[in-house]
Amino acid sequence: MLIAFNKPFNVLCQFTARSVPPRRTLAEFGLPPGVYAAGRLDHDSEGLLLLTDDGALAHRLTDPRHKQAKTYWVQVEGAPDEAKLDALRRGVLLNDGPTRPAQVALLETPPALWPRDPPVRHRKTVPDHWLALTISEGRNRQVRRMTAAVGLPTLRLVRVTIGNHALGDLQPGQWREVGR
């Protein structure tokens, strides 16, 4: 079984909270028993999370050797000029080494998304823009660290695809079974 789930903001990608105070977890969303997250999405990121009850499938989806492309819509603070976008396209040097090149496009209009709770802070004197950014690796907080490395701090991060699986019209907290 493979489940596509729209993980809300501030929800952990696990079924039990080990923190004090406890944080929200996947347990509250009525997911089928026996599934677990195939990969991670930070608690402060939103969007597509795949869950499965098949260990081999989870491995194919998450192992870096399989280079599953993951696309994110990223709201960044600042103005992304061509030099910054080209740096992301070439790959940037992070403290744990260089990243693989990314596919990056500036979105002309913000994507049609649900409101975030709490909302992203808005500063009148600093512009923000949206990028579509696709990577084929999955280091810890990689997209946030990549955009910060080129001077574009991430304000909101929404994963919209993993391989050939897309978020589609799922709203936060909703899920559906998908083909493998």
Structural domain boundaries of the chain?
Answer: 1-66+168-180, 69-162
Model pTM?
Answer: 0.94
Query: According to the model, what pLDDT value does residue 22 have?
Result: 81
Catalytic residue list contains 44: no
**Mind listing the pLDDT tens digit for each residue in 40-99?**
999 999 999 999 999 898 888 888 777 789 999 999 999 999 999 999 999 999 999 999
Question: What is the CB-side half-sphere exposure of residue 15 using CA atoms within 13 A?
Answer: 12
Cis peptide before 118 (omega within 30 of 0): yes
Q: 82: helix, coil or strand?
A: helix
CA pair distance 95, 178, nearest whole angstrom: 36
Same fold across 1-66+168-180 and 69-162: yes
Architecture of domain 1-66+168-180: 2-Layer Sandwich (3.30)
**Mind listing the pLDDT tens digit for each residue in 103-119?**
999 999 999 999 998 88
Sequence-separated (6 or more) residues with CB below 8 Å from residue 140 = none
SS (H, E, C) 126-163: CCEEEEEEEECCCCCCHHHHHHHHCCCCEEEEEEEEEC
Architecture of domain 69-162: 2-Layer Sandwich (3.30)
CA angle (43, 120, 8) in 5-degree steps: 35
